[in-house]
């Protein structure tokens, strides 16, 4: 198995963030054209924007929290030469939880469902962390 292919899941996570930024730009443009933006406050205050924009903006912020741990873990596992089929499957599952989380966050934003998907992602990171610790001390 090619160790470097693990970075495909990382690249998909990065593409998710880029897609969210594009979605945010579109949502901001629409809100501005509809007159839903407090122009005096928009430069410094999030509350100047309508809820539809805030949901996307908050989702983007969230992509720079837990996913950063994912990036580090994948890099650690790769540097240890510990990438195998298990790590591939689990890393893709993590990215899938982030996509579903973003879909919920920018859509219905139903917090109990969003929290459940988030929790699954955290558990996946815990599994990857334990796997990395075992790999670190197995040599």
pLDDT at 102 over 70: yes
Average pLDDT, the chain: 95
Distances (CA, A) of 80 to 43, 61, 129: 44, 30, 13
pTM above 0.85, yes or no: yes
129/132 Cα distance (integer angstroms): 5
Domain residue ranges in the chain: 3-137
pLDDT tens, 121-130? 999 999 999 9
pLDDT of 46:
80
Topology, domain 3-137:
1.20.120
Tokens 């969210």 correspond to 20
pLDDT tens, 41-92? 888 888 889 999 999 999 999 999 999 999 999 999 999 999 999 999 999 9
């Amino acid at each position: 198995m090619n160790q470097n292919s693990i970075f495909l899941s990382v690249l998909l996570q990065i593409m998710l963030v880029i897609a969210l930024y594009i979605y945010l730009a579109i949502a901001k443009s629409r809100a501005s054209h509809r007159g839903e933006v407090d122009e005096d406050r928009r430069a410094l205050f999030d509350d100047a924007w309508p809820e539809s924009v805030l949901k996307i903006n908050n989702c983007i912020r969230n992509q720079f929290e837990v996913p950063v741990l994912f990036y580090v873990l994948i890099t650690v596992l790769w540097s240890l030469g510990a990438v195998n089929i298990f790590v591939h499957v689990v890393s893709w599952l993590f990215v899938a939880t982030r996509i579903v989380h973003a879909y919920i966050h920018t859509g219905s934003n139903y917090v109990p469902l969003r929290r459940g998907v988030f929790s699954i992602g955290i558990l996946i990171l815990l599994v990857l962390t334990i796997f990395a610790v075992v790999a670190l001390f197995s040599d």
